Structure 1
Amino acid sequence: MTAKVLVVDDVHVIRKVLEAKLLAEFFEVVLAGSGQEALEKAHSESPDIILLDVMMPDIDGFEVCRRLKADPLTSHIPVVMITGLDQPSDRVTGLEAGADDFLTKPTNDVALFARVRNLVRLKTMFDELRMREVTGLSLGIANHADPAREAAALLNASILVVEDDPAMTELIRSQLAYQTGLCFVTGDVEAKQAVRDNLWDLVIVSLTLPGQNGLRLCAHLRSSERLRQVPVLVLSKVGDDRSLLRALDLGVNDYVTKPPDRAELQARVNTQLRRKSFQDRLRETMQMSVEMAVIDPLTGLYNRRYLESHLAGRANHDGASPRPTALMILDLDHFKSINDRFGHAAGDTVLKQFAHRIRLNIRGVDLAARVGGEEFVIVLPETSGMEAQMIAQRLVRVIGQEAFVIGDGRELQVTVSIGVTEARPGEAAEEVLQRADAALYRAKGDGRNRSEVAS
C-alpha cells in the first residue's frame, strides 16, 4: 500500500535519508524543515501520515502534534513522532499530545515501514467513514460528539486481557485499575471463547504466550468479519522484533513492551478506546444514512426505492421457486378528507397507526412499504393469490373495526381498499403492480372498504 508521507525534521541529512528510504518503498514524500512548515504543508499537501521530529528550534514536535490534532482539517492524519528522546515520560507526552506512535532514533526501518502501512490502512478506512459522517451531519441524520458521554464510555469500556504470566497480570490489573470493564484470561482457547461470547472495545494480547498463540489469536481476530474492527494492543518482549513485526503485519493497532510503564500503557489504551468510540460513531452514522435511503421516515416501513429493488430480485428468485409470490396494494379510503378536516398532523397520525396495524398482521417474511401518500404495498412470498385475498380481507376488518386516535380525545373511523394479485414467474415488477392497482380501483369502484383479486 502506497501513501503520501510528510517527513518533518530540522536536520537536512535526516530528512533526505528518510526520503530515500521511503521512496525506495514506493511512498510519495513531502519534506518540511520546521514546525511551522509542517503545519502549513499538512494543510496544503493533505498527507496520509506524518513522521514528526520532536526537537525543533521554532515549534517543538509535541506542540505541532497538539495543533494538528486540534485542527478539524488535520486531526485525522496519523502522526508518528521520531526522536532521540527515549524516556517513558517523553513517549507519554507524545501520546497525550495525540501522536499515534512514538519511535526512538535510530529507527528500525522494517518497524517504521510496518507502522506506516498499518496506520495508513486505518486512515483509509476512517477517511471513508468521515466522509459519510460529514454527509450525515449535513442531512441532519448524525449527531456531533458528546464529550461527557464519550468520557464515561472510556471508563466503562470492556477490555479483554490475554496474559498467562500471573505477575504481569497483576501489574496490568493495577495499572488499569480505573477501568471497570477489565477481564483477564490466560490462554488463546479461553480468549477465543471470550471473543465469541462478548463484544469487546479493546483486546490486549501477550505475544509471549507459548507456541506463538498470541500471534494466532491476533490472526483470528483480524480474519473474523465480526471481530476485525476490534482494536488490538499487543504486549511485546523487549528485543522480540520478529514477533512484533508479524503482529503489526497482521493488522494489530498498537503495542507496548514488557513490563509496561503505567503512564504509557494508560495513554495507549485510552488512545485505542477513543479511536474505537470515534469509529463506532461513524459506523452508526453510516448505518443511519443507509436506513434513511430505504426507510420511510414517517411510518418506519420501507420506501418505494427499496420496494422496486426487492421486487426485481424476487422476479429472478420466483422463477426457481415452486411456490408463488403475492402482492397487494392498500389505499386508505377518503384520506384527503382527513387532512382537510383535521389537518396534516392528524393525517400523519393515522398513517403511523395504519403502518403499525399492518406490521401486527403480516408475517416476518412479508415486506411492507409505503409508496405514496396513503398508498402501501405488501409483498407476500410463498403465498398464492387466494391466500393473499384471505389476508387482505382480515386487514380490511382490522383497519375498519378499531377507531384511529388522533389526539385531544378525538377518534376517527378509517377504512381501506386493497387490490391483490399473484406474480407470475419472471414477470416484471411493473406488470405485477399494474395488475394489483387495477384490482384496487375495482375495490374502490365497488364501494371501498373491501379487497379485490386481479383476474
Structure 2
Amino acid sequence: MTGKILIVDDIATNRIVLKVKLSGARYETSQAAAGQMALTLARRELPDLILMDVRLPDLNGIEVCRQLKADPVTRGIPVVLVTANAEPGTRLAALKAGADDFMLKPLDELVLLARLRSLLRARETDEELRLRETTCRELGFNEGQAEFAGRATVALVAPSREAGVTWRAALSRHLPGALVISLNRDEALSQGAGGQGLGGGDGPDAFVIAADLGRPGDGLRLMSELRSRPATRNSVICIASGEGMRETVAVALDLGASDILPLDLTAGDNAEETAIRLRNQLARKRVADRQRNSVTDGLRMAVTDPLTGLYNRRYALPHLARMAERAKATGRQFAVMVLDLDRFKQVNDTFGHDAGDTVLVEMAQRLRGNLREVDLISRIGGEEFLIAMPETTLETAHRTAERICRAVERDPVSLPDGMGDISITVSIGLAMGGGPHYQNAQVQELVTRADRALMGAKAEGRNQVTISATAA
C-alpha cells in the first residue's frame, strides 16, 4: 500500500465509491460516517491523509478540520475537504481552517489522485525532516533555533506583462506583509532574483507561475528548472491554471507543484483564496526551512571539532573506510598518517590551556596549507590528528609528511595575551593502503599501523616521520 486514507462521508455509497477508486490506486482506506468519529479515528489510526465531506450529521467538515489542525497529534495530517454544493465563502472558510485543499463533487479521479500523491509526498518529506531534527536534538547536536519570521518574497510569472501587473495589484492587497514582485521567465531563472528569502536562500520564497507562458506547458517546464536549482529548490511553487485544464493540473502536481491556483485573480474571491493558499504554503516552508537548517547544523556539530573546525573521529573513520573501498575498486594506493604534537602537555602546563588551544588552531591551519582539498584532515584526540590521502604513492605521502614537519617546525606560534612565541614540532607515523598487492586490511588496522609508526618516531627523537614496516 502507498498510504492510508481516512474517508469521511455520511453517505455509505459515497464512501464505497471512493474506497474502490483509492484501493485501485493501492491505497489502504478506513471510513467514518460523522465528524466526531473522524476525530476519534484520526487520533487512533493516524492516517496519512483525510478525505472529508463538508456536510456531516454532527460537526461539519470545516469544524472537524479546525480541531484536527489544533491538535498536536493530528496537526500534520493533510486534509482535503470535498462538497457537492459549495456555498459562497465555503472554500475560503475551509482553507482558513487549515484544509490543504478543497474539491468539488463529482471528484475528477485524475486530479484527485494527483493531488493525493502530491500531499502524501509533502507529508513524507515533512515527517523525515521532523524525525531528523528530533534525532539531532536527542543526540545533543541541536540546541534549537529561535523562531524568526522574515519578510516573504513572492515572485509572479504571469502569461504577459499586463497580467503580471494585475496579479501583483490583486495579491498585494491580501499579502500586506510580503514583497510581491513580477518576473519574466529569464529573471525567474536568474540567481538571487527577489533577494534573500525566509530560509536564507537567494531565491524567492514562493513562485506563482502561469501554466502556459509563451507556449503551452512553458510554466511547467520553468517549474522543473527551478526545482533543479539550489537557490529555488525548496521554494513554494504554485501553478496558476484555467478552468478545464485537468491534465495540466495533474501533470503539474506530479512534477512537484506545491499547489494549484486560479488563473484569473480578479474573479470573485480568487485573489483572497490565492493569498490564503500562499500563506499556508509559506508557513509550511518556514517550518521546513527551520528543520532543514537545524539538521544541517546538527550534523555539522556531530562531525566537526569545534576548536579547529576539522573533522572529528566520528566522521574520519567512516570516511576512511569509504576511501579504502574506493582504493580496492581502483587498485590505487592511499596513505594514512597519525600526527602528534611533541611535548604538548608542557605547553598547557607552562602557558595554560588558552595557549594550548592557540597552538592546536595554528596546527590545523598549517595542515590545511600543506595538503590537497581531497585529503582528509581530522582531529582525533587532544593533540592527535589523522590525515588520509587518496590515490597517493608512498613517495608522495612521505614527501608530504616531511613537508608538514618542516612547516610546523619553521615558524613559532604567537601565543595570546602577549605571552610571546613558542616553537613546536610534530611527529608523524605513516602507513599505506590499497595498491595491487594490498591485502584489504581493516581501516582500524591501518590506523593502528600508523599509530605504531608514530610511536617509533617519538622513540627515535621526535620531529620526524616514521613509515610503517609493512608500507616500506
Give the TM-score band, short-chain normalised.
Answer: 0.7 to 0.9
Aligned to 1:377: 386
1:285 correspondence with 2:297: no
Q: How many angstroms apart in 2 are the aligned matches of 1:251 and 1:103? A: 19
Q: Which amino acid aligns with 2:276?
A: A
Give the direction of change, closer, same or farther, for the CA distance of 1:35–1:297 in structure 2 (3 Å limit).
farther
Which is helix-richer, 1 or 2? Answer: 1
Give the secondary-structure state (helix, strand or coil) at the position aligned to 2:167: helix
Q: How many angstroms apart in 1 are the aligned matches of 2:61 and 2:380? A: 58
Aligned to 2:197: none
Does structure 1 conserve the Cα–Cα contact (< 8 Å) formed by 2:4 and 2:48? Answer: yes
Q: How many angstroms apart in 1 are the aligned matches of 2:131 and 2:433? A: 43
Aligned to 2:15: 15
Kindly state the Cα deviation for residue 275 of structure 1 after the two structures are TM-superposed. Answer: 1.9
After superposition, give the CA deviation of every residue in 1:246-265 in whole Å (9 maximum; x if it has no partner).
Answer: 22232312111221222111
CA RMSD, Structure 1 to Structure 2 (Å): 3.4
Q: How many angstroms apart in 1 are the aligned matches of 2:240 and 2:38? A: 32
Aligned to 1:333: 342
Give the secondary-structure state (helix, strand or coil) at the position aligned to 2:52: strand
Aligned to 2:152: 156
Aligned to 2:244: 239
Does structure 2 conserve the Cα–Cα contact (< 8 Å) formed by 1:326 and 1:388? Answer: no
Give the direction of change, closer, same or farther, for the CA distance of 1:250–1:202 in structure 2 (3 Å limit).
same
After superposition, give the CA deviation of every residue in 1:145-203 in whole Å (9 maximum; x if it has no partner).
Answer: 644x12x2xx333x33221234421221113333654443344x554456999633222
Q: 1:306-325 counterparts in 2 under 5 A? A: 306-315=315-324, 317=326, 325=334
Q: 1:168-179 counterparts in 2 under 5 A? A: 168-177=163-172, 178=176
Give the secondary-structure state (helix, strand or coil) at the position aligned to 2:308: coil
Q: How many angstroms apart in 1 are the aligned matches of 2:409 and 2:293? A: 40
Kindly state the Cα deviation for residue 233 of structure 1 after the two structures are TM-superposed. Answer: 0.5
Does structure 2 conserve the Cα–Cα contact (< 8 Å) formed by 1:403 and 1:414? Answer: no
Q: How many angstroms apart in 2 are the aligned matches of 1:231 and 1:307? A: 37
Q: Which amino acid aligns with 2:217?
A: Q
Residue number among 163, 182, 185 corresponding to 1:184 in the alignment: 182
After superposition, give the CA deviation of every residue in 1:394-445 in whole Å (9 maximum; x if it has no partner).
Answer: 34325x712443x7x6678463432143625434445543443334223322
Q: How many angstroms apart in 1 are the aligned matches of 2:369 and 2:72? A: 47
Q: 1:99-248 counterparts in 2 under 5 A? A: 99-142=99-142, 144=144, 146-147=146-147, 149-150=148-149, 152=150, 155-157=151-153, 159-177=154-172, 178=176, 181-187=179-185, 191-193=188-190, 199-209=203-213, 210-222=215-227, 228-248=233-253
Does structure 2 conserve the Cα–Cα contact (< 8 Å) formed by 1:205 and 1:232? Answer: yes
Residue number among 405, 428, 434 corresponding to 1:419 in the alignment: 428
Q: 1:42-57 counterparts in 2 under 5 A? A: 42-57=42-57
Aligned to 2:455: 441
1:387 correspondence with 2:399: yes
1:30 correspondence with 2:42: no
TM-score, structure 1 normalization? 0.84
- Count of aligned positions: 445
Does structure 1 conserve the Cα–Cα contact (< 8 Å) formed by 2:5 and 2:27? Answer: yes
Give the direction of change, closer, same or farther, for the CA distance of 1:374–1:294 in structure 2 (3 Å limit).
same
Kindly state the Cα deviation for residue 369 of structure 1 after the two structures are TM-superposed. Answer: 0.8
Deviates more, 1:412-421 or 1:21-30: 412-421
Give the secondary-structure state (helix, strand or coil) at the position aligned to 1:29: strand
Q: How many angstroms apart in 2 are the aligned matches of 1:21 and 1:424? A: 59
After superposition, give the CA deviation of every residue in 1:253-307 in whole Å (9 maximum; x if it has no partner).
Answer: 2111221222111111112222222222222233234334432344321122432
Give the direction of change, closer, same or farther, for the CA distance of 1:262–1:291 in structure 2 (3 Å limit).
same
Does structure 1 conserve the Cα–Cα contact (< 8 Å) formed by 2:238 and 2:258? Answer: yes
Q: Which amino acid aligns with 1:74?
A: T
Identical residues among aligned pairs (%): 39
After superposition, give the CA deviation of every residue in 1:309-332 in whole Å (9 maximum; x if it has no partner).
Answer: 333344455579899654432212
Q: How many angstroms apart in 2 are the aligned matches of 1:136 and 1:108? A: 42
Aligned to 2:465: 452
Give the secondary-structure state (helix, strand or coil) at the position aligned to 2:76: coil
Deviates more, 1:60-69 or 1:94-103: 60-69
Structure 2 stretches lacking a partner, 5+ long: 195-201
Give the direction of change, closer, same or farther, for the CA distance of 1:317–1:248 in structure 2 (3 Å limit).
closer
Give the secondary-structure state (helix, strand or coil) at the position aligned to 1:415: coil
Q: How many angstroms apart in 2 are the aligned matches of 1:365 and 1:287? A: 22
Give the secondary-structure state (helix, strand or coil) at the position aligned to 1:263: helix
Does structure 2 conserve the Cα–Cα contact (< 8 Å) formed by 1:392 and 1:418? Answer: no
Does structure 2 conserve the Cα–Cα contact (< 8 Å) formed by 1:6 and 1:51? Answer: yes
Residue number among 391, 412, 425 corresponding to 1:401 in the alignment: 412
Deviates more, 1:115-124 or 1:236-245: 236-245
Does structure 2 conserve the Cα–Cα contact (< 8 Å) formed by 1:328 and 1:419? Answer: yes
Give the secondary-structure state (helix, strand or coil) at the position aligned to 2:264: coil
Does structure 1 conserve the Cα–Cα contact (< 8 Å) formed by 2:456 and 2:466? Answer: no
After superposition, give the CA deviation of every residue in 1:52-91 in whole Å (9 maximum; x if it has no partner).
Answer: 2333354333332222223222221111111345356322
Give the secondary-structure state (helix, strand or coil) at the position aligned to 1:176: helix
Give the direction of change, closer, same or farther, for the CA distance of 1:24–1:334 in structure 2 (3 Å limit).
same
Q: How many angstroms apart in 1 are the aligned matches of 2:296 and 2:180? A: 29
Q: How many angstroms apart in 2 are the aligned matches of 1:430 and 1:313? A: 13
Q: How many angstroms apart in 2 are the aligned matches of 1:145 and 1:95? A: 29
Does structure 2 conserve the Cα–Cα contact (< 8 Å) formed by 1:175 and 1:266? Answer: no
Give the direction of change, closer, same or farther, for the CA distance of 1:322–1:112 in structure 2 (3 Å limit).
closer
1:90 correspondence with 2:90: yes
Give the secondary-structure state (helix, strand or coil) at the position aligned to 2:216: helix
Structure 1 stretches lacking a partner, 5+ long: none
Q: Which amino acid aligns with 2:412?
A: Q
Deviates more, 1:376-385 or 1:247-256: 376-385
Residue number among 311, 315, 328 corresponding to 1:302 in the alignment: 311
